[in-house]
Amino acid sequence: MSIVQHLIHGELVTKGERTADVFNPSTGQAVRKVELASRATVQQAIDSAKAAFPAWRNTPPAKRAQVMFRFKQLLEQNEARISQMISEEHGKTLEDAAGELKRGIENVEFACAAPEVLKGEYSRNVGPNIDAWSDFQPLGVVAGITPFNFPAMVPLWMYPLAIACGNAFILKPSERDPSSTLFIAQLLLEAGLPKGILNVVHGDKEAVDALIEAPEVKALSFVGSTPIAEYIYAEGTKRGKRVQALGGAKNHAVLMPDADLDNAVSALMGAAYGSCGERCMAISVAVCVGDQVADALIAKLEPQIKALKIGAGTSCGLDMGPLVTAAARDKVVGYIDDGLAAGAKLVVDGRGLRVTGNEDGYFVGGTLFDHVTPEMRIYKEEIFGPVMSILTYESEEEVIRRANDTDFGLAAGVCTNDISRAHRIIHQLEAGICWINAWGESPAEMPVGGYKQSGVGRENGVSSLAQYTRIKSVQVELGGYTSVF
């Protein structure tokens, strides 16, 4: 069985330390092993990055951008291979995997604009014979810890811009589906990135703690569950690191009586069941104004959910693949059991799904609950699976209050044909990302992040400069010395 290796100083490295199995969720079989880094291995990657940083920092931004242009081309040329790797280890469909990669490529495109986004400000005559300017400077060695659900896209949220800004980067991807992440990093080296500027170490908590505790690592970026986000934020900031940590979500879609239900259903089907619901931006709650809206919505959703084409992710023409692990499947089934026991009406039951030829895969079908109440666990907690709940209230004010009655605040949306109402509701929704009559991932130039327990900080766009650079202001005296004051 092959082993997924670390990438340190431009070389694939096998340390012979602990390993973990990597499974194909569609078959339930282990397909390879992945190395789990010790603290010493993580430190070797950090030392490589630290040594490579000075020369890269002094490389002109335009030359850094040229590497990113070549990287983008290589990603596009290898789309089919990368999508296959994602699907085999994560389980999402080939179409979902290709869509994920395209979102990541958009972030590489944004990183190609480094010469423009790194421009500072210039002020003439701030004092007698004195001009001033500001300058974005890299931090040095920075690190990213990324989740299993987007093994291509989320790392590409982080390191392309961080590297284009002049930093060296340590990536600790999920050990559940590491192959595509490693392959993509190798493509960046093929594009001309100097050795040591991007290192990839696989691992578990030991590797994470090594990154948190290393004084050479100046910033940490994390995407994952809320408990781990809180741990990384607390431990990282305690050591003086710059930390952004994006956590879980419980996203609400508000449907008004004048909503275009066909459009809403199309958006909800993709948002709730795409990638088997294993997305931080998945819609898990639809909040309707009035029973008529809820009944009409369910009447349109139910047949489409039952008609979902589900199978091995590496097959073509599917709507949904399996969940990532047996534990994830069992957790989702447990939530469905709990919702039914709590009194919710199970409109579509995804339990017990068996896929012919893949009977050992980790499958759960699309699931829909009605008559859900705010006290139920299926309403309050992040399920991270293909389960959607319907709640009904009688007024706009109550719907907004209920949509905000959650510990999370990543994403929310509203479906209505009244643009004034749409803006009024969006203004009141407590979420970092909002949609009107649509649902999807945020584009590369827009910040990604949430409120409350959905985490702190923002990825994407110029917001990432706050994570990966520091600003220096410079004043220059043009003649004899004169005080600026």
Q: Which of 363, 344, 345 is nearest to 354 (CA)?
A: 363
pTM of this prediction exceeds 0.85: yes
Number of domains into which the chain is organized: 2
Asked if residue 448 belongs to a domain, the reply is no
Residues 124 and 262 in one domain: no
pLDDT tens digit sequence for 55-99: 999 999 999 999 999 999 999 999 999 999 999 999 999 999 999
Q: What is the share, in percent, of the chain residues with pLDDT greater than 70?
A: 99
Q: Catalytic site residue 316?
A: no
| Mean pLDDT of all residues in 253-277 | 96
181 falls within a domain = yes
Statement to judge: residues 239 and 326 lie in one domain: no
Query: 484 pLDDT band (50/70/90 cuts)?
Result: very low
Q: Each residue of 140-197: pLDDT tens digit?
A: 999 999 999 999 999 999 999 999 999 999 999 999 999 999 999 999 999 999 999 9
Residues 23 and 158 in one domain: yes
CB atoms within 10 A of CB 355: 18
pLDDT digits (tens, 9 = 90+) for 17-37: 899 999 999 999 999 999 999
Residue 287 covered by a domain: yes
Residue 216, pLDDT > 50, answer yes
- 418-425 mean pLDDT: 96
Could you give phi then psi for residue 325, rounded to 5 degrees? -140, 165
Lowest mean pLDDT segment, chosen from 120-129, 258-267, 373-382, 422-431: 120-129
| Same domain (yes/no): 129, 260 | no
Is 443 within the bounds of a domain? no
Please state the three-class secondary structure of the chain as a single string.
Answer: CCEECEEECCEEECCCCCEEEEEECCCCEEEEEEECCCHHHHHHHHHHHHHHHHHHHCCCHHHHHHHHHHHHHHHHHCHHHHHHHHHHHHCCCHHHHHHHHHHHHHHHHHHCCHHHHCCCCEEEEEECCEEEEEEEEECCEEEEECCCCCCCHHHHHHHHHHHHCCCEEEEECCCCCCHHHHHHHHHHHHCCCCCCCEEECCCCHHHHHHHHHCCCEEEEEEECCHHHHHHHHHHHHHCCCEEEEECCCCEEEEECCCCCHHHHHHHHHHHHHHHHHCCCCCEEEEEEECHHHHHHHHHHHHHHHHCCCECCCCCCCCCECCCCCHHHHHHHHHHHHHHHHCCCEEEECCCCCCCCCCCCCCCCCCEEEECCCCCCHHHHCCCCCCEEEEEEECCHHHHHHHHHCCCEECEEEEECCCHHHHHHHHHHCCCCEEEECCCCCCCCCCCECCEECCEECCECHHHHHHHHEEEEEEEEECCCCCCCC
Instruction: Determine, yes or no, domain membership for 449.
Output: no
Residue 264's CATH number: 3.40.309.10
| Higher-scoring residue by pLDDT: 480, 359 | 359
Q: In this model, does residue 310 exceed pLDDT 90?
A: yes
> Residue 126 maps to which CATH number?
3.40.605.10
Q: What is the pLDDT of residue 257?
A: 96
92 and 147 housed in the same domain: yes
Q: Is residue 133 part of a domain?
A: yes
Question: How many CA atoms lie within 13 Å of 404's alpha carbon, on the beta-carbon side?
Answer: 14
Residues 429 and 464 in one domain: no
* 192 assigned to some structural domain: yes
Shared-domain flag, residues 199 and 297:
no
Question: 112, 276, 280, 288: which is the annotated catalytic residue?
Answer: 280
| pLDDT recorded at residue 480 | 58
Please report, rounded to a whole number, the percentage of residues in the chain having pLDDT higher than 90: 92
Residue 227: per-residue pLDDT: 97
* Domain presence at residue 485: no
- Are residues 296 and 208 both part of a single domain? no
Same domain, 283 and 332: yes
Across residues 254-263, what is the average pLDDT? 96
Looking at the structure, do residues 70 and 171 belong to the same domain, yes or no? yes
Q: For 348-403, what is each residue's pLDDT tens digit?
A: 999 999 999 999 999 999 999 999 999 999 999 999 999 999 999 999 999 999 89
Q: Read off the pLDDT of each residue in 334-339 and give the average, rounded to a whole number.
A: 98
pLDDT (tens digit per residue) in 429-479? 999 999 999 887 778 889 999 999 999 999 998 889 999 999 999 999 887
My answer on whether 215 and 167 are in the same domain is yes
Q: Kindly state whether residues 152 and 33 are assigned to the same domain.
A: yes
Range of the domain at 332: 251-436
pLDDT above 60: residue 53:
yes
